[in-house]
Amino acid sequence: ILNVEQSPQSLHVQEGDSTNFTCSFPSSNFYALHWYRWETAKSPEALFVMTLNGDEKKKGRISATLNTKEGYSYLYIKGSQPEDSATYLCASKTSYDKVIFGPGTSLSVIP
């Protein structure tokens, strides 16, 4: 089983702070990388689907970068808000039907 790692495991930031976290995945057999946001009592929802080395995606205050050669992706949140509090999951897709999830980074934004 290939391992996908995320760091840090949890994070507490003040409202207005910018933050980032890391997803590490095996660079061999790379197919795609997904980022999901999982808010408490809700379903995980996809934030980004990334496929190309050097990809940068942005959605509002959240952005992500991808380095497939070294096997990492960064997720950035600019000016964190309390509604950003959630667990952020990354998932490495190694083929069209095989996905490995990381353990997640739990973000708490303190008002």
Partner 1 sequence: DVKVTQSSRYLVKRTGEKVFLECVQDMDHENMFWYRQDPGLGLRLIYFSYDVKMKEKGDIPEGYSVSREKKERFSLILESASTNQTSMYLCASSPGLAGGSSYNEQFFGPGTRLTVL
| Interacting residue ranges for partner 1, rule: CB under 8 A | 1, 4, 9, 31-32, 34, 36, 41-46, 49, 51, 89, 91, 93, 96-97, 99-104
Q: Which is nearer to partner 1, 32 or 109 (CB)?
A: 32
Residue 93, Cα to own-chain centre: how many angstroms? 13
Comparing C-alpha atoms, which of 81, 14, 32 is closest to residue 23?
Answer: 32
Cβ proximity to partner 1, 48 vs 80, nearer residue:
48
- Between 4 and 11, name the residue whose CB sits nearer to partner 1: 4
Is residue 94 within 8 A of residue 30, CB to CB? The reply is yes
